[in-house]
Amino acid sequence: MPFRRFDLFNSYCDEIHKERDLFALWEPIANPVQLGDYGTMEAGNRFNPIGNIRDFGIPIEARDSPSGPIKYESQSKLTYHVPLKVGDVAPAKLDVKFTKKNSILMIVEELTISEIKNLTEVDRKLCDYSKSKNNRWRMSWKFVTQRYISRRFFIAISEDKDTQVTFTGKIPAAVTGAASISLKDMSYSTKRGAVATYDHNVGTVKTPLFQLFEIKDSAFSPRRIEQFK
Distance CA 176, CA 171 (A): 11
Q: What is the pLDDT of residue 28?
A: 61
Please tell me what DSSP assigns to residue 41.
Answer: E
| From 39-53, 82-96, 103-117, 195-209, the region with the lowest mean pLDDT | 82-96
Question: If you average pLDDT over residues 17-37, what whole number do you get?
Answer: 88
Q: Which pTM does this prediction carry?
A: 0.90
Radius of gyration (C-alpha) of the chain in whole angstroms: 20
Domain extent at residue 201: 3-227
- Torsional sign, CA 184, 190, 195, 199: positive
Number of domains observed in the structure of the chain: 1
For residue 28, whether the previous peptide bond is cis, meaning omega lies within 30 degrees of 0, is: yes
Which DSSP category does 173 fall into?
A: S
Find the length of the chain.
Answer: 229
Q: Are 76 and 161 in contact (CB under 8 A)?
A: no
pLDDT of 1: 39
- Separation between Cα atoms, residue 192 and residue 78, nearest integer Å: 14
Asked whether 64 and 112 are in contact (CB, 8 A), the reply is: yes
Q: What is the pLDDT of residues 50-65, one digit of tens each?
A: 999 999 999 999 999 9
In this prediction, residues 139-160 reach a mean pLDDT of: 94
Mean pLDDT of the chain: 90
